[in-house]
Amino acid sequence: MLPPRRHRIDHDDGARPSKVDPGSTDRWTGTVAGVPEGDTVHLTAKRLRAALAGQVLVRGELRHPRLVGHDLAGRTVLDVASVGKHLFTRFDDGASLHSHLRMDGEWHLYRPGMRWQRPGHQARAVLETGERVAVEFALHDMELLPTAEEDRLVGHLGPDLLDPAWGPEHAAEALRRFTARGASELGLVLLEQRVMAGVGNLYRAEVCFLLGCSPWTLVRDLPDPAAAVTLARDLLLRNADRPQQSTTGELARGRQHWVYERTGQRCRRCGARVRSGEQGDGVYARFVYWCPRCQPGPGPTPDAAPARW
């Protein structure tokens, strides 16, 4: 059973189809759409970088309500970078276009003249070079700011799990921030971008499963907190350069996840029914999936929404 629709719209609960890539047979067009977790944004940045970096924009329309009237034509794209779930398109005049995909944002790449896969009125930015057209659809957050000020938007984030420069110091800092939240529930802390950046609802459910702990386990009760950081990074890395988001190692549709979006189905490991329910309060509530047998530990609090299975 899928979560109620309001969750899919209001919250980053990831209740969407797996990443799809209709353009995979054409290296110059396509969409990186799906569960917008760190790996999706990373792959989007990579595709946009390949298409736009070093190119002069012949068209640069911003249609976001906050940015209408800005014209980016004539600027050269220097780079496209991702930081956690944030995306920056950097230009040669010292400006960056920031975007955040939230739940339903997408970047598409087309050749000039190709028919867009979503209605034009949903487009929020159109960046065209001589050979490519990059179109952003349905983005809620967009800002044009000096590149030197990007930290204003992402400086608060924990280490980016897909940072190309990731090293032991990043792992140590992520672990420090993670264990500092010892009194909080594992499933909620994994979603906190201030702790480590890149995990969304899909990977938090799968990390909890692979740790063998219920999402309501307190961080301080984890036998090996460092394993949570390592697992989160490994899962994101595994999928960073491909459209699928597999945590099981299998790429076939319906076999990619251990518990995520598998409510009521048999656990792949023990055969128990996978359960799902809300974790967190109010606007921060997210749907979580778990196997009650493989993931012992605390369950939903009595006043939380009833768990489903």
Catalytic residue among 85, 177, 181, 275: 85
Shortest distance (Å) from residue 213 CB to Zn ion: 12
**Min CB(4)–Zn ion separation in Å:** 25
Under rule CB under 5 A, residue 267 binds Zn ion: yes
Please identify, using beta-carbon distances, which residue of 62 and 294 lies nearer to Zn ion.
Answer: 294
Sign of CA dihedral 174, 11, 153, 34: positive
What's the chain's length in residues?
A: 309
Quote the least distance from Cβ 256 to Zn ion, whole Å.
17
Binding mask 285-304 for Zn ion (x = CB under 5 A): ------x-xx----------
Instruction: For residue 298, indicate whether it is catalytic.
Output: no
* Helix/strand/coil for 286: strand
Of 128, 159, 286, 300, the active-site residue reads 286
**266 is an interface residue for Zn ion by CB under 5 A:** no
Q: Which is nearer to Zn ion, 159 or 297 (CB)?
A: 297
Cβ distance to Zn ion smaller for residue 96 or 217: 217
* Distance between CA atoms of residues 204 and 215, nearest Å: 8
| 37 carries an active-site annotation | yes
Residue type at position 138: A
Active site residue 286: yes
Structure tokens at 259: 């518990």
Answer yes or no: 36 catalytic: yes
**Candidate list 3, 19, 36, 136, residue with the active-site label:** 36
Task: Report the residue number, 126 or 208, with the smaller CB distance to Zn ion.
Answer: 208
Residue closer to Zn ion by CB (options 4, 292) is 292
Piece of the chain touching Zn ion by CB under 5 A; list 16-24, 145-153, 261-269, 300-308: 261-269
Does 210 bind Zn ion (CB under 5 A)? Our answer is no
Cα 139 from chain centre: 14
State the minimum distance, in angstroms, from the CB of residue 233 to Zn ion.
24
Residues within the interface to Zn ion (CB under 5 A): 267, 269-270, 272, 291, 293-294
Catalytic residues: 36-37, 85, 286
